[in-house]
Amino acid sequence: MLLNGRYKKEVSLNKEKIDLKSLNREELEAFLSSFGKEKYRTKQILRWIYQRHVTDFSDMTDLAKQFRQQLSEQAVISSWQPEVVETSQDGTRKYLFRLDDGESVEAVRIPMDEDRATLCISTQVGCAMGCQFCMTGTFGLTRNLRTEEIVNQVCAALVDGPVGNIVLMGMGEPLHNLDNVVKALQIFYLDDGLGYGTRRVTLSTCGLVPEIMELSRRIKVNLAVSLNATTDDVRNQLMPINQRYPLSELMATCREYVQTTRQRVTFEYILLGGLNDSVADAKRLVKLLHGVRCKVNLIAYNEHDGADFKAPGEEAIKTFQTYLLQRDIVATLRASKGQDISAACGQLKGKLDKILLA
């Protein structure tokens, strides 16, 4: 395991140092100014960290030796390697990362074609939202991920090749960890760093209404809302957050978000066999989405241990999607990936936790 005695000792020795992967551009500039350094040094260091993947200050050869020594005395550059990797026959790759406190999180690399991949990353250890269809929800919330822990998932995945898009749809509710998530997004967007445009990053939420609007004020990102039901009764059953922010309030906020940001919202809809996949549900969904600039991402439920829900039938999926398309709603069906590995959020963590506790 990663947390052997030597690793614990190194973490303890470094805990007072600043991890440069936790800093956005403004914070890094302020840190470097404490050494009396010019702003252009920020660009140099960002390139070393995020474009050349250097973690040892001594390798930053265009910096003065004395400056490199100063940096090594006050800062570190963290780097992650997965503890476990599962690879599917279709190329999907599931990473499990062990954190410095012994906790673990997952990320999933999903191949889109020969040259592109999407990376699904986590924002919390566990989740407090308690969605009934999600295995991560069974763990409860342990803690938020720090900024550098969110960023390091991307850096680690880049070792295996380019990542075209990032989706914050892994373990945890991103808007429940808003400050660290916003800062991680700022780092993703740095031209001298990872260089992702705002169109290439998507954040998924279960529907934290105040935080959705706060997000719109703080940073630009593609928004995906996990909807999954067309009535409050069913959504209350599936997603406890609906008892605080019912569908009427959530949809009003989504309309305001679209008007404020001029961006389209994606609604994720997990099709659960016999529960929310009927033609009647499709009709109600069309009414809910009226007047909202959006698209719908249909997802066939991925069955896993610990949940009683069933995957929908092929005919039900086709009928549901066709009904939306015929009413001019963009409705895509997410291709099923990683079926032969622990692909769903929390499955790999849950499986390994059982082994460790056995």
**Catalytic residue annotation:** 106, 345
DSSP state of 47: I
Tokens of 87: 């690879």
> Rounded to whole angstroms, how far apart are CA atoms 257 and 215?
9
CB 349 within 8 A of CB 304: no
Phi/psi for 357 (5° steps) reads: -85, -15
Residues 268, 86, 189, 162, CA torsion sign: negative
Burial 311-346 (b: 16+ CB within 10 A, else e): bbeeebbeebbebbeeeebebeeeeebbeebbbbbb
Backbone angles phi, psi at 299, to 5 degrees: -130, 120
